[in-house]
Structures are given as structure tokens and as C-alpha cells.
Amino acid sequence: SIAKLSKQISELSNEIKEMDEAVAKATSIRNAEKEKNTETVKDAKEAQVAVEQALQVLKDFYAKAGEATALLQQPEIFDKPYQGQQGESGGVVGMLEVIQSDFARLETETKASEDQAQASYEKFVEDTTVDKTAKNKDV
């Protein structure tokens, strides 16, 4: 009957509208997630560079401090040249190396998460498009 067909068309039209809204919402969420992931990767890369620079400064300092020579006339309060806290350097350098590897891991994990989220989004859009196309044919 015409009333039954009109009702089916109305239901299909509503389902199509809901699909369009779901895709729009998913796109908005995906774009925000992508922006956040891009920023996280950028920050992780910058942090790795900063930590590498700090490591180099410390390594250079401790290398030079280890080679420090005594002043020709040392004041009485110094009995040997100051060489920094050589014994403590390994702990600080080691800690910075761990921090650097943590930033590298964060970058890698964020990239992998971004790739998976993008693939899931693309699959959702594709499935919705197929379903929507079928419903449009039925209308």
C-alpha cells in the first residue's frame, strides 16, 4: 500500500540522515584526534632533540672536567683541581638517556595509534557509504 511505502521511505530517509550525522561526528572526532596526535609527535621529536643537546652538554662538561689541570698556584683550600661530580655524572646521563628513549617510544606509539585510528575511521566511512548507497536505492 502507499501508506506502507511512504512509511518505509520516511524510515529509510531518517536512517540516511542519521548516517550522515554519524559520519560528520566521526569526522570531527577524527580531525581533533589527528591534530592531537600530530602535536604529540611534534612535541616528542622536539623533546628528543632537547634531551640530546642536554646530554651532549653534560658529556662535554664531564669530559673536560675530567681533564682539568691544576692551577700553577692552588689556593690552600684546594688540594686538587675541580673536576665536577664525576661519580654522579653517570646517574644524570643515564636518567636523560631513559627520558630520551621514553620520548622516542611515545613518538612511535602515537604514530601507530594514529595509523590505526585513521584506518578505523576510513573503514567506518566506507561501510556507512555502502549502507547509505543501498538505502538510497531502496528509497
Amino acid type, 69:
T
Question: For residue range 41-57, what is the model confidence (pLDDT) as tens digits?
Answer: 999 999 999 999 999 99
Query: What percent of the chain stands above pLDDT 90?
Result: 68
**What is the reported pTM?**
0.72
Lowest-confidence pick of 14-18, 31-35, 60-64: 60-64
The three three-digit cell numbers of residue 129, written as one number:
557509504
pLDDT of residue 123: 97
pLDDT of residue 136: 87
Cα radius of gyration rounded to whole Å, the chain: 31
Spell 57-84 as b/e; 16+ CB within 10 A means b. eeeeebeeeeeeeeeeeeeeeeeeeeee
Question: For residue range 69-119, what is the model confidence (pLDDT) as tens digits?
Answer: 544 455 555 555 555 555 555 688 899 999 999 999 999 999 999 999 999
